[in-house]
Amino acid sequence: MSNVRVGILGYGVIGRRLADAVNVQSDMELTGISGRSNSFSLRDAMWQGYDIYVSSAIGLREVAARLPTIQGEFADLLAKIDVLLDCTPSGVPQQHRELLESVPNLVTIVQGGETSGSCEASFHSMTNFNEVAGEKRIRVISCSSTGTTRFLYALDRAFGVQQAFVTLTRRSADPGKLSKVPLNSLVPTMGPSHHARDVNSVFRNLRLASVSVNCPTTFGHVLHFQVDLQGNATRKQIIAALQMIPRVVVGRGIRSTAELAERYVELGRRRGDRPEIYVFEESLAVNGSTVMAAISVHMESITIPETVDCIRAALRRTDDPWESIEKTDRALGIWRSDASYSGPDRSLQNGGSNGLNANLNS
């Protein structure tokens, strides 16, 4: 079977990470990057050795003079690919929709900033992998929703979740988007936040409510959970269930998102990325069937492995989500355990507890 040909529109916070992620997958090839002709990010993509396409023919000759690897326009890229990863800012994907729908068999995957109604399906690797097979326009849910889904999935598969409530303390923006960050303010949602609805688009029948507050920080989100299980559990059982799930790290000794960000840099992660959710073990409290915990979510990188999985799911490259998750995580260096890889129906004894735990706790 030939490799999936992937194109990326937009080479910003998400686009550059996805380019690197696709580039190391053995069953995919990165065909090219497209963006505005005046975007400095295209120069960065050129330095990485990627082929460049511009989203408009205006100034094409001038762009070619400073970007030697330019191959043509956005439409030229679309003719060469199987999947487009649209990494443009919220609202922009709709501007290209007519052009994209004119390309037969093209699959377009957009990010969580788009509304669920703008796509045929929403996606999370662990909860609805096979539901997006054959769909042409798919949304990978947002960073906070991805983290929430992973955490609650782990508890639901082990114990059953009766209901849950999550409070999100959100960093206001990525580090480069300073104009969006309140300098001296906490900005709460007025009523429920959208995150519970977002999670329910991929994790149906889960009783979940959410609220959020934006704060002036750029290190990442912190999510506080109160979860009512369908039966009693011990703290040890909760930790074991969380450690069994890929892309989840249970760690001790780190008390803040600043310390967490520094630790991942010291571990050698490029850009300091942490696509795993980090569960603060000290925050974990269990009282009968009620679990309370805090986790950290890195908004710049958490959806990257899910997006790679979405490519395989949409093109029916496998119907086993755990096969795709393992393939993605091995290529990205996320999974570092010598234990056999864990799907949801395998025993805790053979589980794939994340090898990063030892490094983060040392």
pLDDT above 90: residue 67: no
326 within a domain of the structure (yes/no): no
Greater confidence, 67 or 41? 41
- Count: domains in the chain: 2
- pTM of the predicted structure, to 2 decimals: 0.90
Report the distance separating Cα 144 and Cα 251, nearest Å.
Answer: 19
Shared domain for 14 and 74, answered yes or no, is yes
Shared domain for 154 and 276, answered yes or no, is yes
Shared domain for 11 and 119, answered yes or no, is yes
CA angle 85–90–93, rounded 5-degree value: 50
Dihedral sign from CA coordinates of 198, 239, 288, 295: negative
Look up the CATH number of the domain holding residue 57: 3.40.50.720
Q: What's the pLDDT tens digit per position in 155-210?
A: 999 999 999 999 999 987 666 655 565 668 888 999 999 999 999 999 999 999 99
Element at 310 (helix H, strand E): helix 304-314
pLDDT above 90: residue 66: no
Q: What's the pLDDT tens digit per position in 12-44?
A: 999 999 999 999 999 999 999 998 877 778 888
- Span 331-345, mean pLDDT? 55
Q: What's the pLDDT tens digit per position in 209-260?
A: 999 999 888 899 999 999 999 999 999 999 999 999 999 999 999 999 999 9
pLDDT above 50: residue 324: yes
Greater confidence, 341 or 253? 253
Residue 333 buriedness (CB in 10 A; 0-12 / 13-18 / 19+) = middle
Greater confidence, 264 or 313? 313
Q: What's the pLDDT tens digit per position in 89-130?
A: 887 878 888 888 889 899 999 998 777 777 889 999 999 999
Shared domain for 245 and 205, answered yes or no, is yes
Q: What is the pLDDT of residue 51?
A: 93
Shared domain for 27 and 134, answered yes or no, is yes
Shared domain for 120 and 156, answered yes or no, is no
Look up the CATH number of the domain holding residue 206: 3.30.360.10
Q: What is the pLDDT of residue 40?
A: 78
Shared domain for 151 and 109, answered yes or no, is no
Report the distance separating Cα 170 and Cα 297, nearest Å.
Answer: 9
Phi, psi for residue 214 in degrees, rounded to 5: -85, 135
CA angle 336–341–344, rounded 5-degree value: 130
Shared domain for 239 and 182, answered yes or no, is yes
List 87, 119, 143, 310, catalytic entry: 143
298 within a domain of the structure (yes/no): yes
Q: What's the pLDDT tens digit per position in 292-317?
A: 999 999 999 999 999 999 999 999 99
Shared domain for 155 and 172, answered yes or no, is yes
Domain span including residue 253: 143-302+337-361
Do 180 and 330 touch, CB atoms closer than 8 A?
Answer: no
Lowest mean per-residue pLDDT among 5-19, 297-311, 317-331, 341-355? 341-355
Beta strands 83-86 and 70-73: pairing type?
Answer: unpaired
Q: What is the pLDDT of residue 180?
A: 60
Residues in the chain: 362
Paired tokens of 290: 């009620």
Active-site residue, 119 included: no
Shared domain for 109 and 254, answered yes or no, is no
Confidence of residue 360 (pLDDT cuts 50, 70, 90): low
Mark out the alpha helices in 170-234 (DSSP H runs).
195-200
